[in-house]
Structure 1
Amino acid sequence: MSAADLLARTAALAGRYLERLPSRPVGARADLAALRASLGGPLPARGTDPAEVLERLAADAEPGLVASAGPRYFGFVIGGSVPAALAADWLVTAWDQDAGLYACGPSVAVAEEVAAGWLLELLGLPATSSVGFVTGGQMANFTGLAAGRHAVLARAGWDVEEDGLAGAPLVNVVIGEEAHVTIVTSLRMLGLGGRRAVRVRTDGQGRMHVDELRRALASLSGPTIVCAQAGNVNTGAFDP
């Protein structure tokens, strides 16, 4: 099968899945053991025909798919992809460009630059702001906290990128009781310590109480980062 035929078959399988999405069961129908049995097995000793790989993957994975892109999915905060984004994703995968350097992929580097500018305009942020596209919520919080760590330590006269954290001023981090777990994970990875986070009591919607936040800040000294939440994953509420 040619590469063009393989991609055409892939499009047909994907199209069939999308057509059935509104009516298919939302939850997975296969359990963990069944999926491991169908998708697993010994490491193949030699390669398999690409067409066979595609067909087997589509058939074996199908019972374990969650219809998160469908209209009846209400679990977690997972948005369904729109047709234009899905098609563009296929196209850029075929291009196989590296946007890390302009020299490696001029068109995709400029596309990223344009998208960054549009986001700044949409959010009303200064045009000189830095923008980074990350893989998801975990790395978004990690990047934001890394930037915050840099800023508060720089104000204290410490270059954390060059001198590390050993001997650096202690950084306080204030979070709400319902802060997302990726905040704590990021604090651990950044050497700020998940256990050291100061937690502020929240209301029934998961929002930090302003008076409690004021008291927490008044009790702290030195470089301090406050992690406010823009959309609680359970209620959608924003911290004040």
Structure 2
Amino acid sequence: MDELRHLFRRAADHAADYRLSLPERPVGVPVDQAVLNEAFAGPLPDAPTPPERVLAELVTAAEPGLVATAGPRYFGFVVGGASPAATAADMLAAGWDQIAFNAVTSPAAVAAETAAGTWLKELLGIPATASAGFVTGGQAANTAGLAAARHQVLADAGWDVERRGLPGAPAVRVFAGAERHATIDRSLRLLGLGTDALHPVSTGPQGAIDPDALAAALRDAGPGPTIVCLQAGNVNTGACDDLRRACDLVHRHGGWAHVDGAFGLWAAASPATRHLVDGLETADSWACDGHKWLNLPYDTAFAFCARPDVHAAAMSYAAAYLVGSGGAPAGADLTAESSRRARGFAVWAGLRELGRDGVAALVERCCALARRFADGLNAAGFEVVNDVVLNQVLVGFGDDARTDRVVAAVQTDGTCWAGGTTWRGRRLMRISVSNATTTEADVDRSVAAIARLAHGIGGELVH
């Protein structure tokens, strides 16, 4: 027992040392992937290895290849860094080693998800009667929401898709903005609807769906099983669809409105940004990440559904040997996983740590820092091409080739990390401010580094 306690403490110490290094640690450094692979490679030993030695070898092998994604100057992929309480709770979850399948396999895990799900719905303005499935990410959340949508629109057409499958079923039409997230397309593939079912709808100047174009598309399509995928937080610009008007249009045509709100749905948690997602409560299902703006550990996301019975009908299953299955929907009934990690503990802890005011302050601070980023880069002579309404900033540094060189230089420099993207036919730097520990000083330091590197690269700036 003393050996186990010592091992766990050593692991916690390593984790704490790493987290404490983040404010000054290079965010991303060049690494020879072949060398890193070799550090993990080699033959599997025949004899057992003492756990403490295994831990030491893991730390040594991994350290050169760690990217400071949890740090204050990582601005890629709209991800945050797990908060202290949420991280500690996740460590406990690993130690407790619970199966969050149902209340028989872990009463505590289901209780934590139930409580945290209630808080999440309150923060986001989702109806209290909605179901909340704890899934791995936006992909899984969108898939669960669209599975529920597929179930209901086909049931309305007299077709039991869970029993009869899709062969011979009425055709399902799916409408989504031309700038939807790519996980929508993959969900349609996974659900057997296929991307041919998708009808892209034109978007406005900032990438939000055009309500008039949506109205025309629905009118022209006529009656039939219809799903519309809306977006809260364009992955490039942060723009949000007009959810109230769009949901009204969808329901007047007898369709199902699903909202992909991976990060943008958190706008609802702040009075300063809530107007951007006005009407979200009128949708039928919602997808939202916790490991993005809420700063929870990976893999944490949520699939909400206004019709819990439909959610469960699309996702749950029962078997004689699964004691406790088939009751009120909870746990695995609302996801595509059975042997589920008890991620609800970290969600509960992270929400308790922040509180309602803390979540709102986190959203507001990141938005303010994004505007500071935009102002600083504009002042340095670079082109900010989007309206900075949330935490996303798109920056051009001249022609596409020059912009790509600037992005590559920034990623190699290590002061901060930002990714590249293509939006409206242009290559741009995409900056996402989502970390709770990012400060004004971090932004200013990053702006200075980007400007230094950009001005050192040949080519003409276009502003």
Q: TM-score range by the shorter chain?
A: over 0.9
Shift of 1:61: 1.1
In structure 1, the residue matched to 2:213 is 212
| Contact 1:176–1:228 (Cα < 8 Å) also in 2 | yes
Shift of 1:95: 0.9
Q: Which amino acid aligns with 1:224?
A: T
In structure 1, the residue matched to 2:156 is 155
In structure 2, the residue matched to 1:140 is 141
Q: Which amino acid aligns with 1:63?
A: P
Q: Matches of 1:79 and 1:235 in 2, distance apart?
A: 18
Q: Matches of 2:226 and 2:32 in 1, distance apart?
A: 46
Q: Matches of 1:46 and 1:230 in 2, distance apart?
A: 53
With 204-213 and 85-94 compared, the bigger mean Cα shift is at 204-213
In structure 2, the residue matched to 1:237 is 239
Paired residue secondary structure (1:117): helix
Paired residue secondary structure (1:48): coil
Paired residue secondary structure (1:132): strand
| Contact 1:29–1:63 (Cα < 8 Å) also in 2 | no
Q: Which amino acid aligns with 2:120?
A: L
Shift of 1:120: 2.3
Q: Where do 5+ consecutive residues of structure 2 fail to align? A: 243-463
Q: Matches of 1:182 and 1:44 in 2, distance apart?
A: 40
Q: Matches of 1:41 and 1:175 in 2, distance apart?
A: 48
| Contact 1:120–1:126 (Cα < 8 Å) also in 2 | yes
With 129-138 and 197-206 compared, the bigger mean Cα shift is at 197-206
Q: Where do 5+ consecutive residues of structure 1 fail to align? A: none
Where in structure 2 are the equivalents of 1:169-180 lying within 5 Å? 169-180=170-181
Paired residue secondary structure (1:133): strand
Paired residue secondary structure (1:2): helix
In structure 2, the residue matched to 1:166 is 167
| Contact 2:172–2:197 (Cα < 8 Å) also in 1 | no
Paired residue secondary structure (1:91): helix
Q: Matches of 2:48 and 2:234 in 1, distance apart?
A: 46
Where in structure 2 are the equivalents of 1:80-99 lying within 5 Å? 80-99=81-100
Q: Matches of 1:69 and 1:225 in 2, distance apart?
A: 36
Aligned length: 240
Shift of 1:76: 0.9
Shift of 1:185: 0.7
Q: Which amino acid aligns with 1:232?
A: N
In structure 1, the residue matched to 2:188 is 187
Q: Which amino acid aligns with 1:226?
A: V
Q: Which amino acid aligns with 1:4?
A: R
In structure 1, the residue matched to 2:226 is 224
Q: RMSD in angstroms over aligned alpha carbons?
A: 1.5
Tell which has more relative contact order, 1 or 2 (C-alpha 8 A, sep 6+).
Answer: 2
Q: Matches of 2:175 and 2:201 in 1, distance apart?
A: 7
Paired residue secondary structure (2:23): coil
1:70-126 deviations in Å (ceiling 9; x for gaps): 110111111110000000001111111122121221122111111122222223333
Paired residue secondary structure (1:6): helix
In structure 2, the residue matched to 1:15 is 16
Q: Matches of 2:54 and 2:205 in 1, distance apart?
A: 49
Alpha-carbon spacing, 1:234–1:31, altered in 2? closer, same or farther (3 Å): farther
Q: Which amino acid aligns with 1:235?
A: T
Q: Matches of 1:115 and 1:58 in 2, distance apart?
A: 33
TM-score calculated relative to the size of structure 1: 0.94
Paired residue secondary structure (2:176): strand
Decide which structure has greater strand share: 2
Paired residue secondary structure (1:72): coil
In structure 2, the residue matched to 1:198 is 199
